[in-house]
A and B are shown apart, each in its own frame.
Chain A
Amino acid sequence: MEDIIALLKENVIQGRKTKDDEGVDGDSIGMPGVIELTQLALESNIPPEVIIEEGLTTGMQVVGDKFAAKEYFVPDMLASAEAVSGAQDILKPYLEDSDAMSKGKFAIATVKGDIHDIGKNIVATLLKGAGYEVDDLGINIPPEKIVEYVREYKPDFLGLSALLTTTMLAMGETIEALKENGIRDSVKVLIGGAAVSEEFAQQIGADAYCVDGFHAIKVLEEFQKVKA
């Protein structure tokens, strides 16, 4: 059993989703990847909680460290996050209490007027890999839609993305709309994207500005600590 978990962790670090993937170092094609190992672990009656905590999460922590040390870059960590996110989809039905395993619900959207997709998708994949339940609302999402969503689904966190100085203004509008509807305090708002900055986040009353997905993970951990 330890072997499977160790292999799982190693393959998370290598970013090998399936046996057909080369992995970051490119030398293990044909060997079982994260998806196959997760299935194998389930067949070997390893509890899904153990698979997640000792295989997936510890693997992702190493990936985070490598990223911080500039040994890994966005594509490398994305490969890992994608593999973990695939494994989580397999494990979800086996979890007795899936809410207990989730670190919280994170909704993410590219704001009104902005059609930029890729930055948001990277953050979504990474947070899912880090154990958050992620809901991707899409691109060009107007404030009303976001208000409606927050009211109905009560996410813990809301991520807003914008690429341009013209479209980032819609982030402020979104926060105002949450206030007007009396639900601003029900959710922590994180913003990111090429044009925005720490100062802008303060100016519009967002809870945090994040440079990238890993920064978001750190910020979310801080929020959890404060809550606990």
Chain B
Amino acid sequence: MVNMEKELMYNDEVKGVPEFSLAGSIQEGIKIEIDKAEVYRHLGYGREQDPRAGILSIVDDQVCKAYEFINPAAYYTINPITSVGSPEVSVGELHFTSHNLAQVFSGCSQAAIFVVTIGKALEMEVDQLTKEGSILSALVLDTVGSVAVEKVADELESMFRDFAAAKGGKISWRYSPGYCDWDIAQQKELFRGLDGNPIGVNLTDACSMKPRKSISGIIGGGEFCSVFSACRSCNRKNCPNRREEFLAND
């Protein structure tokens, strides 16, 4: 998807700076659209089973309203991958421990460390609805927020894909502390790589991000990078999140 506004924005960011050594803060111009089918799935409905009429209209209302409360922002730094052992991985000055991360990085030479958020306006509205006793509307709006921030991360990812493609390279899987064998406590190390991120995402002592609707992570890039799914070689046989294409006996 080529979006003029986005292109302009990237060019602004990139102007005069060698692409793969930059740190970027994007606080305007990220346009997202909320996929209602994603909202239904997050609310627990199956793929084949849309909500009934009364719930559909609540989703419609909250999606419509959500746009007012969503302020997408992203911040990233791009760093060289300095060593990939397994499980020890170094990115610039940062040291991480995860077998999966090592796998994700195979063939990559650079890594973007990022954080994205939709800001705190949406969760303030969720809190307000909760106070008023509208728990269902609060749940739906909260869920819309989750879908929205995932979309923001998708947008950033596609920006990196474009960056890489422009140099004849590729990007890896997107991966985040807290998933699979990457300890969520390493959020602290990851945030060190985002020093003083200007988009206002804070990490609590317990490694929770504020605003709640935020995602942090890494994306590798390079000439020989492949889209590796950690699930393929992971030995957590009964993991409920295993990607379908890599079933346990695969």
Contacts and interface: CB of A to CB of B under 8 A. Distances in A.
A82 B135 contact: yes
Given A74-B43, A117-B130, A166-B207, A26 B139 contact: no
A122 B139 contact: yes
Interface in B99-140: 126-127, 130, 133-136, 138-140
Interface in B173-205: 178, 184-185, 204-205
Which of B58, B136, B208 neighbours the largest number of chain A CB atoms within 10 Å of its CB? Answer: B136
A166 B184 contact: yes
Which of A70, A75, A78, A166 neighbours the largest number of chain B CB atoms within 10 Å of its CB? Answer: A75
B55 interface: yes
Interface residues on B, range: 20 to 34
Nearest to A81: B135
Given A21-B54, A25-B54, A82 B208 contact: no
Contacts of B134: 82
B52 interface: yes
A58 B70 CA distance: 40
A57 interface: no
B231 to A, nearest CB: 19
Interface string A116-155: 1110011001000000000000000000000000000000
Interface in B128-184: 130, 133-136, 138-140, 142, 178, 184
B55 to A, nearest CB: 5
A10 interface: no
Contacts of B206: 112-114, 164, 166-167, 170
B139 A25 contact: no
A86 interface: yes
B53 A27 contact: yes
Contact of B133 (A21, A82, A170): A82
Interface in A156-192: 163-167, 170
Interface string B206-234: 11101010000000000000000000000
Interface string A62-101: 0000000010011110110110011000000000000000
A79 B136 contact: yes
19 contacts: A24-B53, A24-B55, A25-B54, A26-B52, A27-B53, A70-B46, A73-B45, A75-B58, A82-B133, A85-B133, A114-B206, A115-B212, A118-B139, A122-B135, A125-B135, A163-B208, A165-B178, A165-B184, A167-B206
Interface of A: 14-15, 21-27, 70, 73-76, 78-79, 81-82, 85-86, 112-118, 121-122, 125, 163-167, 170
Given A14-B54, A27-B53, 6 more contacts: A23-B54, A24-B54, A74-B44, A79-B55, A82-B136, A115-B208
